[in-house]
Structure 1
Amino acid sequence: MNTNKLLIAFFSCALMVGCASNQTDDSDQAAAAKAAAEQQAAAEAAAKAKAAAEAKAKAEAMAKLKNVFYFEFDQATLSADTRADLDAQAAFLKGSNSKIRLEGHADERGTRDYNMALGERRANAVANYLIVNGVERYRIEVISYGEERPVASGSNAAAYAKNRRVELK
């Protein structure tokens, strides 16, 4: 009889230990799942923060770049200063996949048709320079407004100089 009591006590203890280990395993699994969920949430938050920081850095870099390029009277050739500014734009644009629009403008001197053609030649000069420097052609739209959208009013040299331009948008 002592043996039976001893066996019953032994199996009872074994049963309790087995049940206790299942509860521990369940709580360990729950803790592991919670830790994994917290780790995933932290990774997602870090990825969002990194994306936001990259977007902010891109916007700041873009703000520093010139996006208006000026031309001499009746010319569509790029000056050395303009080429230097376009080199910086090309380097920036090669690192993104955004599309751009080049808007060509002219001052009020000359006929409407001539100024439309001149604005287009200017915008194409900028586009060709960017293409040669690695910006894909399909990302560039060229449009001419001729003399239709002046930024400076007046019929003087200062106003004319401001209106002879290509704007990168």
Structure 2
Amino acid sequence: MRNTLIFTTLFMVVLYIGACSKKVAILPEDTRGKSTVPVENTDAKMKSPVIVTRDKTAQAVETQDYQFRDIYFDYDRYELKSETIEILSEHARQLKENQNVKVLIEGHCDEWGTIEYNLALGERRSNSVKSFLVKYGISPDRLSTISYGKERPLDPEHNASAWAKNRRAALVTGS
């Protein structure tokens, strides 16, 4: 009986000490004062897109030496920032000039949050880019979305710079 009491007491002490360890919280960068453009929330069910790797970019776009740049987002946000509107407008102009090009919009997140939360956030990010391009006149049939959440980081480091790079929507082209 005495051994059981000692064992239980030691177990509780170890459990208590483990539960009391401090967790370091990294606060997101301050985004007050930065303008954003609201985009309607199109939480449509994800379609099963054809996934095209970055190595298979469309020749029509390659011949013009045009590279689709990633669209970056603030921490825990999916609204398009004012500086990304110009980039997306140029993407839309290129897509209008190359009617045969289809685009897969990949939504990505940083490592913070649960897998489920980041998949949903990545989907909202890819849908906000798709909504912008559709409003610009690109046919929705040419645009598909997918969310990778935090599963495919651009930068695998664990710091603020890497997290900012990983909060993005990437446009992958294919014919």
Which of the five TM-score ranges fits, normalised by the shorter chain? 0.5 to 0.7
Say what the alpha-carbon RMSD is for the aligned residues: 1.8
Aligned length: 114
How far, CA to CA, are the matches of 1:124 and 1:82 in structure 2? 15
Which structure 2 residues correspond to residues 83-122 of structure 1 after superposition, within 5 A?
A: 83-97=85-99, 98-122=101-125
Shift of 1:60: 4.8
How far, CA to CA, are the matches of 2:134 and 2:93 in structure 1? 11
Shift of 1:71: 0.5
Shift of 1:58: 4.6
Instruction: Tell me the amino acid that sits aligned with residue 160 of structure 1.
Output: W
How far, CA to CA, are the matches of 1:110 and 1:126 in structure 2? 22
Against the structure 1 CA distance between its residues 155 and 87, is the aligned structure 2 distance closer, same or farther, given a 3 Å change threshold? same
How far, CA to CA, are the matches of 2:72 and 2:123 in structure 1? 14
Shift of 1:99: 0.7
Q: Does the CA contact (< 8 Å) of 2:60 and 2:98 recur in 1? A: no
Identity of aligned residues (%): 42
Q: Which residues of structure 2 form unaligned runs of 5+?
A: 1-57
Q: Could you say what secondary structure the match of 1:141 adopts?
A: strand
Show CA shifts across 1:38-74 (max 9, x none).
xxxxxxxxxxxxxxxxx988525352x4421110000
The residue aligned with 1:133 is 136
Q: Which has the higher contact order (CA 8 A, sep 6+)?
A: 2
**1:143 is matched with which residue: 141, 146, 152?**
146
Against the structure 1 CA distance between its residues 141 and 133, is the aligned structure 2 distance closer, same or farther, given a 3 Å change threshold? same
**1:167 is matched with which residue: 156, 160, 170?**
170
Shift of 1:92: 1.0
- Where in structure 1 do 4 or more consecutive aligned residues deviate above 6 Å? none
Against the structure 1 CA distance between its residues 62 and 90, is the aligned structure 2 distance closer, same or farther, given a 3 Å change threshold? farther
Q: Which residues of structure 1 form unaligned runs of 5+?
A: 1-54
Shift of 1:91: 0.8
- Output the TM-score relative to the length of structure 1: 0.63
How far, CA to CA, are the matches of 2:102 and 2:74 in structure 1? 27
Shift of 1:94: 1.0
Against the structure 1 CA distance between its residues 155 and 56, is the aligned structure 2 distance closer, same or farther, given a 3 Å change threshold? closer
Structure with a larger share of its residues in helix: 1
Against the structure 1 CA distance between its residues 73 and 56, is the aligned structure 2 distance closer, same or farther, given a 3 Å change threshold? closer
How far, CA to CA, are the matches of 2:132 and 2:60 in structure 1? 25
How far, CA to CA, are the matches of 1:62 and 1:121 in structure 2? 29
Q: Could you say what secondary structure the match of 2:148 adopts?
A: strand
